[in-house]
Amino acid sequence: MADDQVISSVWARPEKTRNARPTLSREQIVTEAIKLLDAEGVEALSMRKLGQALNAGATSLYRHVANKDELLELVVDEIYGELRVPTLDDPAEWRAAVAGLAQQLRDMILRHPWIAPVLGLVGSTYLGPNVTRMTEEMLGLMESAGFSLAEGNSAVKALSAYVIGFTMSEAAWLLALARTGQSEDEWLEQMRPAMDHAMANNPRLARLFTTQREAHSAQDDPQAEFNYGLALFLNGLNPTQPPT
């Protein structure tokens, strides 16, 4: 494969030098891309459509990003800039700090539900400044709590995997519901006959479905389930060194 065909990360090369004439900035491109993604989702994002939204030609965009994949790297890192690692004043309170960050990450994905499937596709986002900052600060928090650097790294990775994995299904539901143009109650009412049929020969699922339907709360149940899993995760973590 020729050198100019190698697929690389946007973070692996510097921005092209701007000429004296004012041009479109990378920041403008990323900001407009996020607006488009929040409004219409990943399927609607294209370099052509983004150029139209910015009143700019494709050449102006390609000065900053080589393709849609690089654009998504920039966008994902920008979204991660919404997260703030809590300050750990008391090392004994590390669980609350980690839980707070986990909730921030979940809330961030639900604000931008299109990002959930993208996180599994953008392999080099860890090179972006916001992701590296957050990781560095999280490792510092874990070290302050008494975890070794290796333990802290494993814990941070496992936490991210749990939150993203859990929230991905929530985000998929929000995206699917938005495409129907219906409210959640309307969609559930429409799907109830099919659900009842699917549960007919599955007694445990039928009992569970009936219980959930009787105590249905679209907003509270996912949060309670998230908190339950997060508590199990945190209870499995134990520092091996004295807090610093």
Print pLDDT tens along the chain (244 aa).
444 445 567 777 666 655 544 578 899 999 999 999 999 889 889 998 999 999 887 778 888 888 888 899 999 999 999 999 998 889 999 999 999 999 999 999 999 999 988 886 665 556 889 999 999 999 999 999 999 999 999 999 999 999 999 998 888 887 777 778 877 777 777 877 887 888 888 888 888 877 777 665 444 578 999 999 999 999 999 988 766 6
| 8-state DSSP, 44 | G
Q: Cβ distance 156 to 142 under 8 Å?
A: yes
Domains of the chain, start order: 3-79 (1.10.10.60), 88-235 (1.10.357.10)
Instruction: List, in sequence order, the alpha helices (H) in the chain.
Output: 26-40, 47-53, 58-62, 68-80, 94-111, 115-119, 129-145, 149-180, 184-199, 203-214, 220-235
Q: Cβ distance 148 to 87 under 8 Å?
A: no
pTM, full prediction: 0.80
Q: Note the Cα 8 to chain centre separation in Å.
A: 22
